[in-house]
Every structure is written in structure tokens, then in C-alpha cells.
Amino acid sequence: GGGGGGGGATGGLQQLLQGAKLKKTSTRVRRIDGSTFIEGTPEGDATHTPPPPPPPPAPGPPPPAPPAPPNVAASARPLPRSTETKAPPPPPPPPPASSGVILGGVSSSGQLPASASSQQSADADSSGKWKAASISTVKWATCSSLSVSSEGGSGVFFVEAEKLSGKVVVVKGSGTVVQELFASNVGKLIGVTTPDMRMTAYTESEWRNLKKHLQRVAKPKDLSKVQKELDRPYLLIMEYLEGEPLGMMSQQQAEQTFHGSKSCISFYGIGRILALDILLNNWDRLPVVWENEGNPNNIMLSTSGDAWAIDQAVTSINPTVFASGMKKYISKVQQFLQSVISSGNSVESMGIVLEHIAMYTGYSLKGTEACEACDCLRHGLLTTLQRAAKLDIIAEKKKLEEMVPASSDWGNVWQSGLKAINIDFLQSVQGLIKEMMDMAERQPSLHLQRLTPVEDLTHIKVVLLQVALGSQTDDDDLVSQVDCCLTKETLATGCAGHLFLLPEGCIRQPGVPSLEKHPVLSRLAFVAAKHNIVGVLGSLYEAAPDGKVYNTCVVVNSDGKQVASYRKRKVLRNIDCGTEECVIDLPLGRIVVLICHDIEHQDILQQALDRKPFLIVNPVCIPPPDHLSKFPAMLTGAWKTSLTTVSRRWERLARENGVSFLRCDVAFQKGSGFGTSLIVTPEVTHHVSSPVQSVLSALVPKEHESFTWPPPHRDRTEWMDSTGNRFQVQYVEDGIAAIARSSECCFVCPLNKQGLVLGWRSGVIGHWSSDEDKCSHRHDLDKPLLDMCLVNEDLLSVVVEGSWSLLSTKDLSVVEQLELNTPGHIISCCHSRSETVDSVRMVVICGDQVCVHEASIAQRRPCLATSVCSVLPVAMGARQIEKCFALSSSELLIWWGESKCSVLRLFNTDKLDSAALINVDGLDSSTVIDVLNWKDSQICFAADGNAYSIELGTTACTATKIWCSGQSISCVAWAVDETTPLVVIACVDDGTVSLLNIETGMSVCEVIRLPQAPVQVACSSSHIFSVTYSKVCVVSFWVNREKQDLSRFLLPKSLD
């Protein structure tokens, strides 16, 4: 069956395999395990009387669907169904046999998948204390109790592995073992959270021991059911899950899960589960592609908010036999994915999932919460489909073929399950997914990154999680924090990263540094595997067998498997010292682990450098200075001094050895942690945004390549201060960056003395102060922001639909406001140069008219200085205008789209009584990004990565290509001012921010490469401000630890 919930026959397996009907006669029958019973006796009838096999499908209307056997859901809190929750409806009747596709409720074979969760309730008195036991080695002789799933007869049993231990494993007898194993393995490979499971076969001694001891501990009323359901050649041993089925949640439980900081984990996980269902045609869960009401009980939500996929199986459609059903399924998947990718509003495509949740739980999300939830659902779906597109399906099926050779199969059961996994069907679905993902990766608004093998990457994304220390009871919260941070990082940048680092001592529970023996390490490893990322898991206190205590760090690979552990070698407290170094060769490269004080010792550090790693990771826990408890106002200054001191020690070593240093500190709090996390690469130093809980992510190079930069000053006296050329990156505190997550930032105005002002399309303006190092002011407009321009250091010009305002740059208060009496909806607007320094001019295009407004800065009072004039040709139509750019006080560059560009020249601007429209030839591009004035020409930058020089003529204009980057450009800005030819360019494809000399047409250098494509850049004389979807970066240029003006890059190359 499609849901895998124990579909297929139950009971006496040998009769079913032979196709024989049971007869009520006194016949002795042999079970699979060799025991016998007498057919016709009460024991035989109660235990081994299966239903007759289903008849072959006949043409005509199908018979009513029989009740579906329930699915498996290992719930740690089995509760009776609340009156607040709505029971899931039964599957609809099956379609005609010729369809073969699960769209109406049945599979191509006519079998009914499960429709309700089966491991949802057992004995209430024992369920509250149940925990998961390891399924790797279960001692069945010590099992002490067994509880049967209360719903249906799917053969699901909870087994307490040891008396009074409260640790439980799940045993399931199923007729679709092969399909379920395949679905579980595929789910794990593409990042879907599924319970661990393994199979035991009738040829193994464990199979016999399991049956023997489960019958021993079964209650008398359950014995017959246990005997019948275990009479199968292959049984599943599954991980027990602690959580609640989605369909059984009360409204209060749903609100607690879906309303809060961890809700992104739940919705992101549900999106991933939907991706698995689409790939496998597992129809019995979410009613998105399939024409049914779904079964939310096949989604378990853990206490940490994670969404687990349970009871899934592949439901193949044979394209040879059921061609029409195959075509219909492919068409439905294509329509759904196209709506997900092309729709600007995720609620339009993913809102059906929220409706499904509301129908069963009674809790509905609205407004911003609904938008954020659908964004998480969409991103979870798309990022998982990216991985599904690269999955080797044939290899996964081959693994199952090797598990049970045909020669040892019982009655061809295993081989029949393998035949049900149709590779042609799966590859057809996978091919469609690949096509759709290629389309999605070209949509910048979806924030997806192309999946490239780490071996082929030039830069690796690293994520430092600066968390606070808690008590041993807070270790569960640590795991949730890590999962939540990596999920948000994926939502923001399309990739959780390639390596994450936790601080020293973050795991408070001491124990053995082994995934099998330490529950917190095991859960953190699971999170690493879920996000496909290498994890350096901070450190914990290790209790060694010889009685010694070590400070130990554990490293897991992207599959969640432990690859190394390292004991701290230089300790300052009463613990023992390790003796071995830790050098790890991973697919992403060689890394070395040094805990805290180890890196301060020259012999240990030099030994690490001699190993030629590209990364040295350094989890630390730095106590804050004592005086901060008395003088908390000194925190910021002391924190910045500490960051400077640490980076000073590493910057020259990083450049000369081609290595990057990662330092992850504990977040600032009284008694422990100073929040001095940073990343030092050969060219760039990244500082964390604040000393409190933060996330610092960056791209670090795998191989160091020197750039041709201007010559440094003479060497400094101190060896470590002669660092050469270097960029320093500071990330603005989340107080302003969080605004960017709701709407892309489109306007950045740097202030030389006070910081910068950022404006978002959603109508939010934020002011970041360089002195206070945080967002000090915020102004909310009641309408979307159309244009923003810095008039001078004191005034900011802002345009929204229907009004034009001047704001103070100090506190963003409104100085003056003017209502715009425009004849229609504003299509485009821009600020133009005024011929006098005491006024600013703003141009609005609406309908078929151009409106020019002028404000007197001297009086600080906007006033209407001109009238409007109909100047746009009717043939083109003003509504086709995409953008306009001011070239001068009387000239506008209008971008019509489709590689059409014109210059609108206004005569007698006081009255706007005439105009000329001149077409620009030679500009072959999809979109114009920006136009910069340089001397007697205009430099036009296009989205396809080209720069054109436009010479304005009297009757004609020609664009000449002067530079080509080979990358898609997202934004440009003057690097210093309009008197110098230096321009900063941000590229979409690889997130680079680079400097270009437009006078020579030469790229000067790459400033920084960001994990996410910048949406806007701006510059002052000494800073480059780069804004992405989730970050605001402030970049400064240093030579030998002395801050420099960006104009240094204009020095003649002969001086290098």
C-alpha cells in the first residue's frame, strides 16, 4: 500500500503465498518457525485465519473500499482522541482499475494503503515514562512487557527492552517491508527525519528469539494477535519516537508547536516530508498533489518541534501498464511545483498544508505567521527536492537486493517487494524534479543554492553558533537551538553550511564521548545528518575508564557519523591533559581541532600549521573580565578590544600559511562566556555582531590565492602587525538585519559620521549607528517604499505612493511631507540631480505623464516647482516601463524591457512643455541594474554582467560594451564618490563583492564572498555596506592593521 501501514495479508503466511484458501477442517499446519497448529481448533481459528486474498480487479464500478489498516506512529504520549480534534476521514473509494495512479485513494495494484496512525496509543499508565531504546542490539530475553497498538490490526507492538527501564523499541509485522525500508532509506538520504529501522529475517536467530520472548511477555488478551502478526518471514525493528501525531494534537498543543521560535523547524520539516512523498508517490499524508484528505497522523512532532515522517512506502506506477495514470501523476506534480516556484506569495501554493493542519487541530495561522510558515514549507520542499534530484535511486534499490538473495527468500516475498519498486517510474519523477529545480535555482527570490560536491567548491560555508551555557537540563534546548539556527540559515541562504562549530563546554552532561553512549551527542549528530553538514560539537567533560577526566571535543561528518574525538592538551583547571593531536581529512578538506588554550601555545599551534590544514577550529569559553559585573556599560569596549587582540594574533599566520581560523566562544553572560567569536581567513576577518547569542556564518577559501592589491605601508615594528592588505567585516546586530528577512532591502544610504540608513520595499526604514553598533531608530511607513535618496548628511528623501517626505537622518523623524497629486499609479520614480546645491529634484512617471517635483533644501520645505507634461509615446505605452534612472537634471534613462532603452530629454524643465525620446542602440541585456554618471558619459550596468558606456547624442545614443564579469550582477555603487572611477559590484551567482575601475575597465580585487547574494551595496569613503536577505555587512579596508580609505585602490599599478 502507498502508506505502508501494514498493507498486504496478515496471518498464516504460507497459505497466502501458495494462494490457497483456508478450509475449516482439522488439518495440521506448520508455521514459519516450525511450530504447528490444528486448523479448525479455537487456537487455530483465533490465531491463523487470514482473510481471503482479494479478487482480481474487474471492469466496471469498483466495490466499496474496505477499512484500511492503520499506520505506524511511535508516540511517547499516546492519548485517546480528544473531542477537540477531528478524526481523519477514511480514504475515498478507489478509481477504476485502469488508472493505476494513487489519486483517488488506492494504489495501482488495488491495495489500500494505511489511513490512520497505529502506534498512537497503548497503555496510558506506562506511556508517560517511555523513552527510546537503541535498536542496534536488543536483548529480547530481557524484555519485560509488550503493548499492542490500540488502532487497527497492523501488527505494531511496543516492547519494553528491559524491566522497569522505560526504554522501548517498536516491532512491526508488515506485508510491505521492502517498500518501507526503501522509503526510509531514501528519506534519510535527502534529509527527511525518519525513525531508524532495520529488518530481521526468518533465517536469523534474532527473528526466533524475538518471536519467542514477545509471545512470552504478551498479555493473554493480546497473545493471539501477537502470534498472528509475527508469523511473517521479515519483521521490522523500529526506533520509538517521543512526540505527538499531528492529527491527534489539540488546539492548544498545535498553538504551542506552531507559534514560537521553533515553529520554523516544524514547518521546514513538513516541507521536507512533502518532498519525499512527491518523489515516492506516498499519497497518504498531505493532500497537496493527491485527491484525498490525507492523514496527518503520519507526521509526528517531537518535543523539540522537529517533524518526523512515519509509515511511508514507495507506491510505484508501472508506466507500461498504467500509462494514463503515470501521465496524470507527472502532470499534477509539474503543475504544483510550477506554482510553488513561480508564485511570489508562498501562501498561494503552500496554504493548503496550513488548511490541512487547521482542519485536524483547530488551530489556524493568519497574516505574517501564515506567510512565514508557508515560506518555511516552501523552502523545506525545494531544498529537499534539490537533494532528491541528485539521488542514485538504482543504488538504493540494489542495497535491498543484496540484503536478501533470491535463493534464500521465503516464498518470493522479498522479490515481490522489490518488483513493486519501479525504477522507470521513480526516474521519471526524478527527471521532472531536476527540471523544476533548474528553474527554481534561477529564481533569486527563492534563495536556493546549486548543490555542488564539496570537493569541487572553492569556498566552504562555515557557521559558528555562539550559544550560552546552561545546566545539564538545558542540553535538550541546545539541540533545539542548533537545529533552529541551521534551519534559519538554510531559509536565508539556501544552504545550512558545510561545517558548524559549537563553543567549548556547551554540552553540560558529562559522559563517554560516543554517539552510542551519550544522548546529547547522538541528537546533535542527528541534526548534522539532517542538514547534511559536518559538526564540531563543542566539548564535554569525559569520564574515562581509568578515572581521569578530560575536556573532549567530538566531530561528526555530514552523515552524522563520528569521525574523531580530541582531548584538550593544555588545561587551566583540575582536569587531565590529552596527548594526541586531532587532524581530520574530510571531503571538504583537512581540518585541525584545538580547544581553547591549546592554540595559545606556540608548539601546539606550529604542529597544527605543519599539517597543512585549510581550517583550524577553536572552540573556546572565555570568561568575561571581572570589572564588567560592576561596570556593565564598559562591555562593548572590552568586547571589541578582545576581538581585536585575538584577530591580531592570527591574521598574519592566516595569510602566510593559507589557513583559516574559526573561533567559537560562549555567549556573554555573568560568570562565563565573552562572545568573542570570529573567523580569520587569509584575506578577511569576520567579527560576530554582538557578544550575546549570535550566529556567524561566512565563506572561507579552500585554497589561498593572493590578489594584486596596492602596496602596503612599511612594516610595523611588531611582527604580528605586518598583516598586509586585509578586509574586516562586521555584521550588524539582528535588530536591523531581522527586518531584511521580511522584505528584500532595496535602498542603502551611507552616512559618513553616523552609520547608514536602510530602506526596505515593505515600507520599513532603519538607521544603524556606527557609534552604538546597533539599530538605533526605525521608521515604519504605511505604504511600500518606492525610492529613497540621501540629500545630505541631515536629510533623507523618501517616496511612497501618493506622498514625498524629507526625514531627518538622526532619528528618522518627518521634517516635511508633500502630498503628490499624481494622475495615476506610480510606475517608476527616481531622484535627479539639481543644478543648484540647495535643492533636490524628484521625478515620477505615472500613466502617460512625467511629473517633476523640486524641494528647497535651504528652506527644508518641499514645494511643487513644475507642472506635468504628456511626453511618452502611445505606441510603447507607459505601463511597459520597468525602471527609470536620472542622468542629469533634464535627462532620464528609461528601461522598457526586452533590451529596449531610451533617453528622455526634457526641454524647458520649468514647464515641461516639450520632450524628445531617443532610442539607445547596442544595449543587449535582460535588465538594467543601475546607471552611473562618469565625466561626459554614463556607465550602464546590466544584470547579465556587462557594463556599457553610453554617449548621449542629439538624436541618437549608442551603448558600447566596456567590461564583462561573466557573473549576473545584482547591484552596483560608487566605491568612494563620483570623482573617482572606482565602483563596487555585487554578483548574484557566487555572492562576490568586487571592486572595478571603470576608467580602465579592470577588476581591482574581490572584496568578500558572501554566503548569500547581496541585494544592495553602498559605500562611504571608508566602508562598503553589503546587504543580503538576512545580513547587513560593514566592510572596511586595513593595511598592516591601519584603517585605510578605499581610494588607496586607485594607486598606479607600477607602485606595487
Reported as a single tens digit per residue, the pLDDT across 581-607 is: 999 999 999 999 999 999 999 999 999
Average pLDDT, the chain: 78
pLDDT at residue 991 tops 60: yes
**The three three-digit cell numbers of residue 409, written as one number:** 527468500
Q: Are 292 and 107 in contact (CB under 8 A)?
A: no
Return the higher-pLDDT residue of 216 and 102.
216
Give residue 65's pLDDT: 38
pLDDT at residue 915 tops 60: no
Give residue 107's pLDDT: 30
pTM of the predicted model, to two decimals?
0.78
Reported as a single tens digit per residue, the pLDDT across 309-341 is: 998 999 999 998 999 999 999 999 999 999 999
Confidence of residue 708 (pLDDT cuts 50, 70, 90): low
Residues listed for the chain: 1056
Return the higher-pLDDT residue of 74 and 226.
226
Q: Compute the average pLDDT of residues 167-185.
A: 92
Reported as a single tens digit per residue, the pLDDT across 777-813 is: 778 887 888 888 888 778 888 888 888 888 888 888 8
Give residue 46's pLDDT: 37
CA–CA distance, 478 with 492 (Å, rounded to integer): 21
Give residue 804's pLDDT: 85
Output Rg (C-alpha) for the chain, integer angstroms. 33
pLDDT at residue 384 tops 70: yes
Cβ-based neighbours of 225, under 8 Å, separated by 6 or more: 148, 153, 155
> What φ, ψ does residue 309 adopt, rounded to 5°?
-90, 125
pLDDT at residue 854 tops 90: no
Give residue 960's pLDDT: 84
How many percent of the chain have pLDDT more than 70? 77
Cβ-based neighbours of 128, under 8 Å, separated by 6 or more: 77
> What φ, ψ does residue 982 adopt, rounded to 5°?
-85, 125
For residue 729, list its beta bridge partners: 686, 1035
CA dihedral 770, 771, 775, 777 (to 10 degrees): -110
Give residue 790's pLDDT: 84
Give residue 67's pLDDT: 37
C-alpha distances in angstroms, 151 versus 46, 78, 79, 248?
19, 11, 12, 13
**The three three-digit cell numbers of residue 391, written as one number:** 539521488
pLDDT at residue 120 tops 50: no
Reported as a single tens digit per residue, the pLDDT across 15-26 is: 323 333 333 333
Give residue 564's pLDDT: 94
Return the higher-pLDDT residue of 216 and 69.
216
pLDDT at residue 560 tops 70: yes
Q: Compute the average pLDDT of residues 368-388.
A: 90
Least confident of 255-259, 358-362, 712-716: 712-716
Reported as a single tens digit per residue, the pLDDT across 672-695 is: 789 999 999 998 999 988 888 889
pLDDT at residue 420 tops 80: yes
Confidence of residue 151 (pLDDT cuts 50, 70, 90): low
pLDDT at residue 545 tops 50: yes
pLDDT at residue 744 tops 80: no
Give residue 741's pLDDT: 45
The secondary structure of residue 352, as a DSSP letter, is: H
Residue type, 641: T
Confidence of residue 897 (pLDDT cuts 50, 70, 90): low
CA–CA distance, 977 with 969 (Å, rounded to integer): 20
* Three-state secondary structure call for residue 10: coil
Q: Compute the average pLDDT of residues 218-243.
A: 90
Give residue 834's pLDDT: 56
Q: Are 812 and 777 in contact (CB under 8 A)?
A: yes
Give residue 865's pLDDT: 53
CA–CA distance, 690 with 636 (Å, rounded to integer): 8
pLDDT at residue 299 tops 90: yes
Least confident of 25-29, 239-243, 842-846: 25-29
Give residue 971's pLDDT: 85
pLDDT at residue 103 tops 50: no
Choose from 74-88, 451-465, 643-657, 960-974 the range with maximum mean pLDDT: 643-657
Give residue 394's pLDDT: 95
How many Cβ atoms sit within 10 Å of the Cβ of residue 308?
Answer: 24
- Kindly list the strands in the beta sheet with 946-952, ordered across the sheet, starting from the edge strand earlier in the chain: 883-886, 891-897, 900-907, 914-921, 957-964, 946-952, 937-942, 928-934
Confidence of residue 168 (pLDDT cuts 50, 70, 90): very high
Reported as a single tens digit per residue, the pLDDT across 761-775 is: 778 888 877 666 566
Alpha helices in 221-322 (DSSP H): 223-229, 251-258, 263-280
pLDDT at residue 82 tops 60: no
CA–CA distance, 320 with 323 (Å, rounded to integer): 6
pLDDT at residue 416 tops 90: yes
Least confident of 136-145, 420-429, 729-738: 729-738
Give residue 835's pLDDT: 53
Residue type, 1022: S
Give the DSSP H/E element, type plus range, for residue 367: helix 367-389
Give residue 22's pLDDT: 31
- 3-state secondary structure string, 683-732? CEEEECCCCCCEEEEEEEECCCCCCCCCCCCCCCCCHHHCCCEEEEEEEC
Least confident of 101-115, 632-646, 670-684: 101-115
> What φ, ψ does residue 629 adopt, rounded to 5°?
-65, -30
CA–CA distance, 709 with 725 (Å, rounded to integer): 7
Give the DSSP H/E element, type plus range, for residue 642: helix 635-657
Q: Compute the average pLDDT of residues 76-103.
A: 34
**The three three-digit cell numbers of residue 631, written as one number:** 561596570
CA–CA distance, 607 with 568 (Å, rounded to integer): 15
How many percent of the chain have pLDDT more than 90? 30
Residue type, 840: V
User: DSSP letters along 121-186, please?
Assistant: -S-HHHHTT-EEPPSSS--GGG--EEEE-SSSSS-EEEEESSTTT-EEEEEEE-S-HHHHHHHHHH
Cβ-based neighbours of 83, under 8 Å, separated by 6 or more: none
Q: Compute the average pLDDT of residues 995-1004.
A: 83
